[in-house]
Amino acid sequence: MQHPPPNLGLWTYLIPLFVVALVILRNSRARRLRVETLWITPALILVLVGLALSQGGVPTPGMMAIDLVALGLGAALGWWRARFTRITVDPTTHQLTSQASPIGMLVVLGIFAIRYVLRMYALQSAGTLHMPVNAIADAALVISVGLVCAQRLEIALRASRLVAEARGAGAG
């Protein structure tokens, strides 16, 4: 059974929590939403995760199946989180604003908690799982791809529909 190195301090857990707290604070305020730039973050994540996955060599069919399930789970979580995002349209300027809901922010915290629990379990049970720890780490990366891509797509679709409705109401 593998144990984490003894020199890992509390800071290894506090830094991610600090980052999550910053994200939650940032998302708790209404911000301007630009539909035309929503593709940038998913594109960057796709490239970075693609590069990370390419370093692992050719995945086995089992690992590919796990990654596909992870992608589906991430997409479902991203869509669900985006459904809780409040999007408003200024009726005169048609400027969009978005604000994440507390439920959507709890989803992010839940994902971080699940990731840490799975990581600890994988480190302790690598031999009994009959799969490399990297495969589990890769699945966590793929979940993030599905989450971010589905969330941005859902927000873009809803925002575009709201703007079209606002323009139609203004013309009529």
Tens digits of residue pLDDT in 75-122: 999 999 899 899 999 988 989 999 888 777 777 777 777 777 777 777
∠ Cα 16 19 21 (to 5°): 110
Domain range spanning residue 54?
43-171
In a domain, 27, yes or no: no
What percent of the chain is modeled with pLDDT above 70? 86
In a domain, 121, yes or no: yes
pTM: 0.76
* The pair of three-digit structure tokens given for residue 55, joined into one six-digit string: 């370093």
In a domain, 21, yes or no: no
How many structural domains is the chain composed of?
1
Give the Cα separation of 160 and 154 in Å (integer).
10
Radius of gyration of the chain (CA): 19
